[in-house]
Amino acid sequence: MRSVIDILDLSVAELDELVACANDIIENPEKYAHKCAGKKLATLFFEPSTRTRLSFEAAMYELGGNVLSMSDAKSSSAAKGESVADTAKTISCYADIIAMRHPKEGAPLVASMNASIPVINAGDGGHNHPTQTLADLLTISREKGRFNNITVGFCGDLKFGRTVHSLISALSRYENVKFVLISPEELKLPSYVKKDIIQKNNLEYVQTTDLEEVMPELDILYMTRVQRERFFNEEDYLRLKDSYILTPEKLETAKKDLCIMHPLPRVNEISVAVDEDPRACYFKQVLNGKYMRMALILKLLEVK
Ligand code: NCD
């Protein structure tokens, strides 16, 4: 029985295997339509979500399985004071696999230590979001055909943006990856990610506040939303929320084969005019997320 709490819980070989499986699902969906018949996925979401929860649920339905869904923490026993550990033990009696999102960093890890079924971290506070990274990796693989030899710009809220932390972790295991970290001073990448991931793996990186200056060198531009719900005061959020707004004009100096990504939801950070640009990949990322979650569910349920 295996859980995925951090993207590093999966080896590079396993990531390759998941990408290959997702590509096969895209080509031959009918082959997979009954693979999870009789199995149940429980989605336990203690924080808002559109894509992550619904894509997990769509993934399970497309595998022929069923879903038990808890989308509102206020209507669950957590509101009565139940611990994450007890919730995990309880859900283990009903389902075969859990996808959990929680505002507290480490909550899905605690769930995995108490559940008797696999637990997937669907986002824990400002920490990690490994299945968004799976969506991101399939997108990079399909758009660029490689994970090596790329310059990846991360722009926006690098402090609280859990999708950034997980994607940096994943890419740190490949060759000749360069990170360009673009953020306001207050929203810089946490030092633990910089030290334990980027510097430990001897990867090249630069930090800047200026998106336009670095635009021409990027192969991938990963935009992020300023994470309002993690701020201690609204004033700071209001001051920082529009630090970066990507427009067609700002893309004029970008590479012709730039891949523009965003985990979504977007607020203001990408102008809708950019959606027409063939380099905009963020809605492809959404679809890729469903296929990678299908591949992950199959792997963790050990379905052949
Ligand atoms: C992200 C998240 O929840 O961290 N959304 C998602 O799952 N696609 C990004 C965000 O909320 O800004």
> What residues contact 216, with CB distance under 8 A and at least 6 apart?
253, 254, 255
pLDDT at 293 over 90: yes
Ligand 1 centroid from CA 215, angstroms:
23
User: Which tens digits make up the pLDDT trace of 103-148?
Assistant: 999 999 999 999 999 999 999 999 999 999 999 999 999 999 999 9
Q: Going by DSSP bridges, is the β-strand pair 40-45/66-70 parallel, antiparallel, or unpaired?
A: parallel
Measured from the CA of 224, which atom of ligand 1 is nearest?
A: 12
Percent share of the chain, pLDDT over 70: 100
Sign of CA dihedral 75, 77, 82, 88: negative
The answer on pLDDT for 35 being more than 90 is yes
Look at residue 304 and tell me whether its pLDDT is greater than 90. no
pLDDT of the residue at 262: 98
Each residue's pLDDT tens digit, 64-99 = 999 999 988 888 888 889 999 999 999 999 999 999
Distance (Å, rounded) from C-alpha 89 to C-alpha 85? 6
Q: What is the mean pLDDT of the chain?
A: 97
Helix (H) or strand (E) holding 257: none
Rounded Cα distance, 34 and 145, in Å: 30
Sign of the CA dihedral 229, 231, 232, 234?
negative
**Contact call for residues 9 and 108 (beta carbons, < 8 A):** no
What is the C-alpha to C-alpha distance for residues 104 and 134, in angstroms, rounded to an integer?
22
Tell me how far CA of residue 160 lies from CA of 39, 54, 98, 127, 226, in angstroms: 34, 23, 24, 7, 8
Residue 73, pLDDT score: 84
Ligand 1, atom 6: closest residue by C-alpha: 263
Atom in ligand 1 nearest the alpha carbon of residue 51: 8
Give the sheet arrangement for strand 40-45, strand by strand. 66-70, 40-45, 97-102, 119-124
**Bond before 265 cis per omega within 30 degrees:** yes
CA dihedral (203, 166, 164, 237) positive or negative: negative
Distance 263 CA to ligand 1 centre (A): 6
Q: Atom 3 (ligand 1): residue with closest C-alpha?
A: 123
Crossing angle for the helix pair 12-27 and 130-144, nearest 10 degrees? 70
- Confidence band of 16 (pLDDT split at 50, 70, 90): very high
- Torsion sign, CA atoms 186, 189, 193, 198: negative
| Domains of the chain (ranges, CATH numbers) | 7-128+288-300 (3.40.50.1370), 130-286 (3.40.50.1370)
pLDDT at 159: 98
pLDDT in tens, 224-252: 999 999 999 999 999 999 999 999 999 99
Is the CB of residue 192 less than 8 Å from the CB of residue 262?
A: no
pTM of structure: 0.97
Least confident of 50-59, 76-85, 270-279: 76-85
Longest dimension (CA), the chain: 55
Return the residue whose CA atom lies nearest to atom 11 of ligand 1: 265
Confirm if 147 and 140 have CB atoms less than 8 A apart: yes
Write out residues with Cβ below 6 Å of ligand 1.
51-52, 123, 129, 132, 162-163, 225, 263-265
Name the residues annotated as catalytic. 51-52, 80, 101, 129
Instruction: Tell me how far the alpha carbon of residue 136 lies from the centroid of ligand 1, in angstroms.
Output: 12
